[in-house]
Structure formats: C-alpha cells, structure tokens
Amino acid sequence: MVKETEELAKEDRKVKEKISVRNKLETYVYNMKSTINKDELSDKINSDDKEKMESTQEEALEWLDDNQSAKKDDYEEKLKEVEVVCNPIIKQMYEKSGWTDSPSLVLWS
C-alpha cells in the first residue's frame, strides 16, 4: 500500500510538472502577443518581424490545441522554438525604445 501511494505521488508530480510547462508556454505566447501590440512599442518593430512573431505565436497556440496530451518534454521543446523566434525580436524592439531592461526577457530567461 505504501508503494502504491508512492507511485501515485510520483505520477501526480509528473502531471503537475507537465501542466506547469504547458502553462508557461501558453503564458509566454500571450505575453509576447500583448507586448508586440502595445501602442508604445508596436512602432519599434518592423512589419516582417511582427508577422514572423505572430505566425509563430499562432502556430504555437494551434499546436497547444492539437496536442493536449503532449509530454512535458514536448512542451519544453515548443517553448524553446517560440523563444528562439521571439526573444531576439523583442530584445531589438526594447533596444530601439531606449529601455535598458526588457521585462519579457528578464521574466523568461
């Protein structure tokens, strides 16, 4: 009985970790969408970069919808894919705006 309880606790931790990573991916995508659409920042990003980010974000959201039962590693990999596209663009956008710290990059790095 103790072994069974330990097994269940282990499974619960795995599920909790998976949900946490999924939520992190979803939150990151929505934060990036919000960031690029802020009035004071939207003019600091060129249209090609904005389109690139928007398509990456939409693809990630579709992937989330289509992969409800993905593994933790899959969510982590998808988050990295989105970060590779978004982080350099966001960094450049904040540099153009004259800000020394990028809240999004500090939060997600």
Q: Taking the model in full, what pTM does it have?
A: 0.81
Kindly indicate whether the domain formed by 2-108 is annotated with CATH number 1.20.1270.10: yes
60-88 as b/e: b if 16+ CB within 10 A: bbebbeeeeebebebbbebbeebbebbbe
pLDDT digits (tens, 9 = 90+) for 2-27: 888 888 898 999 999 999 999 999 99
The per-residue pLDDT for range 72-105, each reduced to its tens digit, is 999 999 999 999 999 999 888 888 777 655 554 4
